[in-house]
Structure 1
């Protein structure tokens, strides 16, 4: 039996997973009605869309500051503050009297959102057992996906309450999340030194020196371009303009992608604890590249839905595993706010630039070429991972244990990590209870 299957997840993990589900559900509740709500203030389509863009832009711009706040204040404080900002700004949206008030409030929500995102990644890494990082990432991602799918369904059921009601409901749900997380993490032994100056810190420069981190940033950017950017922007256009289908079929295609995603999220994360991160990062990126590229050449709706499902499977294979790889780089005890912020920024930057750049390519050529270029971005990420050392073999001196030696400490005779048999250790340091192989023999 593998080490990963023996590890029991701490209670803090389940608190954060439950919170992620509620947050995703609430976001799915608000997102569908937001443009229509903005239109009620008498603005055009572009201005209504700007409400969505403002939220994403503030997430991108405030990410570096969120990383620094995590370094200075600790993960829990920034997490709770971010949720409170989103709760208050969302509740206030229901009271907005003008378009500009709504725009400012959603922008504030974007700031709180990035504070929550960066700190939640940090919390998950801090409380995850090293031997179960992939499993935790898979469960967390699955919870978020389910919440985002259920949210619009709940919103549809509450449609009779008016366009302002979802904002009030989401705000109240976030306040409940704050109470649950505060109570669930207050006595955490892992986080008891949340603001201690002795907590090791990992700077962006230190992270950048690690090949796996550079590959994770590229993978995050590629996912932002293909999954969060181009797919969301192009699928409705492909369905209507190329396949000549009703606009409602775009929602079906997006749901099919989510189905493929959800089918493998948990399994890929869990298996990566046993088999390593690289197989899933390489194969998942390649599969998503094929499915994404095929969207632009699908001759009929059934083929289009099949391509969406394939792309979803690929995304579900690499998405949780790249987060586990990020945890491998950071370690369980280090505080790396800038490292985590850059990871989020890479995805957000891809989501912003992808539709613009690929849209220009499609305008000059065709939808098919645009989607093929998008797939090529994912293929480049897969190729880089082929030549990147396995992230799960990185050893950190401050970690209490390593996945290969869960139980009673690290084996001083272990020589199983590096490509030459020596441990892979940040900053050239070898843990006191590990020794590198004498390669001169």
Structure 2
């Protein structure tokens, strides 16, 4: 595919695929407590369902990345979407906890395929000037899915608990058909004629010990702080300020709205103007400020302002880090995007556990800790920026 003329149809197909994954993930949020209750399961089982999703994504992402480098992006994206359709159908048909567990594991395995290959596809098909913009638009599509999923899930569940899953499966299958019919393969047209050559571990080691390794560390730190803050804030604002469920919902709606706007319209132009390293540095430093500022919040308005900044920092850093990794990857975009997914998902397993433990010691401690970790990331990014220059 000509990078200078990447048409809108492939990007739309990738946006839809990313949107469906996020929608399917968040669709079950209002439904799952009732599902668990009907199946006689409790908090421990719900914890396992959450953990198995992140764990399977962590383990499988590098495999899908390697495979997409060898056989192409389109087959991996297609396999992921079709398998994701099946996993949502299994959720809708589940009659036992173990069916849910298997479906959630399958969902994690296959959603990582689509996510990794989609990011690699954008890296293959975009010019350096457009890469951050296109990565940001994928992130915006994911944010829309995360925002709409609970809303649709709650409405559809009023008719049937299984209906949200069947609806998500239908949307997923439509995305699969669109990918199969209109999405061209990116590797064959990107100047990579030897995609089936044997895997070069020395080349991968060289990349991991260079800029790509630094970017992966920053991806882990950013996702670690982001997940840690997201996981504990709902409880924090209820315990400290007595927020109602409606107020908590407004906070997350504002976060999703800011993410959509900034990722969709501002991240790309800012990256072109400031450069990727300065933009990442700014975003990580903002995340540190957010963490420390949460300790100083005094009510609903101040929480909205602080978490609006939180959304801005996330919108600036995540797509720009992915774009920077894609630039460093050359012919190994798939495997490095797989490692990026692993780093992000591993943080989603560790960060909530750490934040929960710290919260039991002091409700302010998770924010102080995440802020300190974000500052470490800021220092690493500053050294990286100065070294490369």
Do both share a fold (TM > 0.5)?
yes
Alignment of 1:24-35 (within 5 A): 24-35=22-33
- 1:210-259 deviation digits (Å, cap 9, x = unpaired): 22x223212211222122x2123211111111112224422222222223
1: CA distance between counterparts of 2:185 and 2:52?
Answer: 37
Higher helix content, 1 or 2: 2
**1:226 match:** 225
Alignment of 1:67-106 (within 5 A): 67-106=65-104
How much has 1:52 moved relative to structure 2?
2.3
How much has 1:114 moved relative to structure 2?
1.3
My pick for the range that moved more, 49-58 or 282-291, is 49-58
How much has 1:390 moved relative to structure 2?
8.3
**1:215 match:** 214
**2:295 match:** 296
Q: 1:134 aligns with which of 132, 135, 155?
A: 132
Cα RMSD, aligned residues only = 2.6
- 1:17-50 deviation digits (Å, cap 9, x = unpaired): 2332333334332333233312210111221332
**1:375 aligned onto 2:371:** yes
**1:164 match:** 162
Q: Structure 1 length as normaliser, TM-score?
A: 0.80
Q: 1:295 to 1:335 in 2, by over 3 A?
A: same
**1:190 match:** 189
Alignment of 1:262-411 (within 5 A): 262-265=260-263, 266-331=265-330, 334-364=331-361, 366-389=362-385
My pick for the range that moved more, 196-205 or 39-48, is 196-205
- 1:49-105 deviation digits (Å, cap 9, x = unpaired): 322222122111222322332233322211111111111121022111211111112
**1:145 match:** 143
My pick for the range that moved more, 141-150 or 110-119, is 141-150
Tell me, yes or no, if the aligned pair for 2:286 and 2:309 is still in contact at 8 Å.
yes
**2:106 match:** 108
- RCO (CA 8 Å, sep 6+): is it higher in 1 or 2? 2
2: CA distance between counterparts of 1:60 and 1:323?
Answer: 16
Tell me, yes or no, if the aligned pair for 1:10 and 1:128 is still in contact at 8 Å.
no
Q: Structure 2 length as normaliser, TM-score?
A: 0.90
**1:259 match:** 257
Looking at CA atoms only, which structure, 1 or 2, has the larger radius of gyration? 1
My pick for the range that moved more, 24-33 or 341-350, is 24-33
Tell me, yes or no, if the aligned pair for 2:69 and 2:195 is still in contact at 8 Å.
no
SS in 2 for 1:380: helix
- 1:294-340 deviation digits (Å, cap 9, x = unpaired): 22332222222221111111111212111111111113xx1333311
1: CA distance between counterparts of 2:101 and 2:191?
Answer: 38
1: CA distance between counterparts of 2:28 and 2:43?
Answer: 18
My pick for the range that moved more, 184-193 or 274-283, is 184-193
**1:39 aligned onto 2:76:** no
2: CA distance between counterparts of 1:210 and 1:288?
Answer: 25
Unaligned segments of structure 2, at least 5 residues: none
Q: 1:388 to 1:315 in 2, by over 3 A?
A: same
Unaligned segments of structure 1, at least 5 residues: 1-5, 392-417, 420-441
